[in-house]
Structure 1
Amino acid sequence: MSTEVRNNTALERFEIYVDDALAGYAEYQDTASERAFVHTEIYPRHEGHGYGRILVRSAVDSSRNEGFGILPLCPMVRHFVETHAEYVAAVPQWARERLGLPQ
């Protein structure tokens, strides 16, 4: 199975495609310097295959490369950041404090 993550800027979400079929998305809202991830969903028939992790990693990496700080407001993105220590630094210091993330 092939996977591809695309940033659908018109809908403000990253979308993951599995064999060219939409399998889920991660919605975001941008400010001048931060990207808040507010909701992530993997469609039921695609759950349990690691697509959520692929989607979130790609979305966070792309956002960092664009110069955004990450605000992991959605539980799936927050869990990803909490379990991948190398991504904590992408969260602004003020947000780490408010969200109880490691400093």
Structure 2
Amino acid sequence: MDLASLKTQNITEEQRFMLQLDDATAFIDYKVGKSGAIYLIHTEVPEEMEGQGVGHKLVRESLAMIEKDELKIIPLCPFVRSFIKNNLSDYTHLLAEGAKL
């Protein structure tokens, strides 16, 4: 698997950011709130892909898409919250008003 060549996709109909890995899929489920903020609910990486940077790539690319669309986030998923805490200076501006880490 060449992780660098893979790109995260936003599947809006499913409200899911998705990274297709061979015959497995990593994803972040989300919901769009009434204010337009994106609630990042759940991240899942296939067990066989854990520890290879797949989750970090998925979160990083998902946040880049959200930023490009000038949206704000409310990270409910513990993995996403942890990623943002570890990279706080890069992502603080994406947090919706009142969002907690």
What is the TM-score when the length of structure 1 is the normalising length? 0.84
Does residue 93 (structure 1) correspond to residue 93 (structure 2)? The answer is no
Equivalent residue of 1:56, what SS?
helix
Identity of aligned residues (%): 29
Which has the larger strand fraction? 1
Paired position in structure 1 for 2:48: 45
**2:46 corresponds to 1:13:** no
Root mean square deviation of aligned Cα: 1.4
The runs of at least 4 consecutive aligned structure 1 residues that moved more than 6 Å come to none
Structure 2 portions without partners, runs of 5+: none
RCO comparison, higher one (Cα < 8 Å, 6+): 2
- Aligned-residue offset at 1:93: 3.3
Cα deviations by residue, 1:31-88 (Å, 9 ceiling, x for unpaired): 2421010000001111110000000011111011112101111011101110112101
Unaligned runs of 5+ in 1: none
Aligned length: 96
